Amino acid sequence: MSFLRSLSPLRAWRDLRRFLALRKPHEIGFMVISFAVTGTILFALYKDAAIPPTYKRDVLYVESWPLSRTDREIIDQQKADLIAEKKRAAELRARQLKRQAEFKRLDDRLERLGI
């Protein structure tokens, strides 16, 4: 426990002030610049990580069907499911094409800048 007794915020503050008093002005300037650059990078990483996901979580419900279903009922259900699946696939493809167009515009802008 003697180690924890030696820790004091007041002593740490005095030590920091003493350390900074011995530094030359250009060293303090470079320290401030390095803190600013590091803080900017950390802030950018934090903001980038805060982007919400664009996917939609679908709940999958398992349906229970009676054993007495006829083949006609099964085929009708499969046709209805196929239509819904094609609609979902078309929506997904439209989103993919939209995203691809966004990246294409970005690539074109970068090409004009020579990057």
Q: What is the pLDDT of residue 50?
A: 74
Q: Are 70 and 77 in contact (CB under 8 A)?
A: no
91 — pLDDT class (breaks 50, 70, 90): very high
pLDDT tens for 6-56 read 788 898 899 989 999 999 999 999 999 999 999 999 999 988 887 777 777
**Region 80-96: what's the mean pLDDT?**
96
Query: Do 35 and 86 share a domain, yes or no?
Result: no
Query: Do 31 and 79 share a domain, yes or no?
Result: no
The identity of residue 62, as a single letter, is: V
Q: How many domains does the chain have?
A: 2
Q: What is the pLDDT of residue 88?
A: 95
Q: Are 15 and 6 in contact (CB under 8 A)?
A: no
Of 41-45, 61-65, 74-78, which range is least confident?
A: 61-65
| Interatomic CA distance for residues 14 and 1, integer angstroms | 23
**Whether residue 1 has pLDDT greater than 60:** no
Question: Which three-class secondary structure string do you get for 28-87?
Answer: HHHHHHHHHHHHHHHHHHHHHHCCCCCCCCCCCCCCCCCCCCCHHHHHHHHHHHHHHHHH
Identify the domain containing residue 43 by its residue range: 1-51
Last residue of a domain, one of 51, 72, 92: 51
Last residue of a domain, one of 31, 51, 71: 51
CA angle 62, 59, 97 (to 5 degrees): 120
**Whether residue 5 has pLDDT greater than 70:** yes
Query: Do 36 and 85 share a domain, yes or no?
Result: no
